[in-house]
Each structure stands twice: as C-alpha cells, then as structure tokens.
Amino acid sequence: DLVLQACEALAEAHFHGIVHRDIKPANFFITRGTDGTLLLKVLDFGISKISTTNGQLTATQTVMGTPNYMSPEQMRSSRDVDHRSDIWSLGVVLYELLQGAPPFGGDTFSSMVIKVVTEPLPKLTVRLPGDLADIIYRCLEKDPKDRFQNIADLAYAMDKCVKYIAEC
C-alpha cells in the first residue's frame, strides 16, 4: 500500500513535468491519517528536474542524487533523465526493502557507476509472492525503454500483485 502511495505521488509530479531525481527511503515520510491509516508522503524535491518550454533547468554535466538509488542514465548526466529514472529509483527502494540492501554498492561513486552500468542486477535471494520479483526486475532494467514506461503501469502491476497476495 505504501509503495502504491509513492506511485500516486510520483504520478502527480510526473504529470506536471517534474522528475524527482532523489527517490530513496529517507525521502519517504510515513504518518497517519485521522482514521489511523498509514500515509506516505514523498519529500525533498530540492534537486528535481522541471521541464520548461525553452529547455531544462539543470546544467549539462551536473550529476545530482544519491548514488545508491541513481539510474544509469542519471549517473551519466542528471540533465538527461526523464520520469523513468524515478521508476529505477523506486525499484531500488523495493529491492532494498525486500532484500535488505540495495542491489549495487561501492566505496566510490565511480566504482558504483561501473557496477550499475556493466554488471548484471544481482538476483533477489528472498522468496517473493506473485510477480513481485519480476516487477522489481523490470523497474531495474538498465535501458529506460525496457522499464515500465510510466508510473501508472508500475502502479497497476503492483496493485495486481497486492491483490494476489491478499487472496493467498
């Protein structure tokens, strides 16, 4: 449910031409609604990219974000990312949530870049219900064309998975 709430918040941002570029657990705030239900808020749009009619607001070679959660294309240049970079980052969050550690790590930014760009995604070793592993793997496709093409498609896949889990 909380991941679906994150998808809803990102869908709103993406609809308005905003790419967050720093999706990570520290930028999710969980609170409670008046009825006690858990509510997730996406925080810190400080380095977000906003599409403009006459170009982008980010310098060409500037790299911004948290390395563990950055997509391959964001590691190359933060300017050249689109909403699919946020989908990668959300996939890293899901992977870490279920596996206990992000898929790629490194002592330096350059070592992490090499791993993200050249090494295959480490397989999840935990057993997951339904298509959850496939959903995560699709979020973490290195080529943005192979990921979910929008957050709504990801949310739909997650919702089907949640319903499957609830039925079991």
Q: Is 22 a catalytic residue?
A: yes
What's the whole-number mean pLDDT along residues 87-103? 94
Residue 52 to residue 55: CA distance in whole angstroms? 5
Confidence of residue 6 (pLDDT cuts 50, 70, 90): very high
Q: Which of 1, 22, 131, 159 is catalytic?
A: 22
Q: What is the pLDDT of residue 168?
A: 60
- 12-21, 132-141, 148-157: range with lowest mean pLDDT: 12-21
**90 and 138 Cβ atoms separated by less than 8 Å:** no
* pLDDT tens per residue, range 21-39: 889 999 999 999 999 999 9
Q: Give percent of the chain with pLDDT exceeding 90.
A: 46
Phi, psi at residue 106, to the nearest 5°?
-175, 160
pLDDT at 56 over 70: no
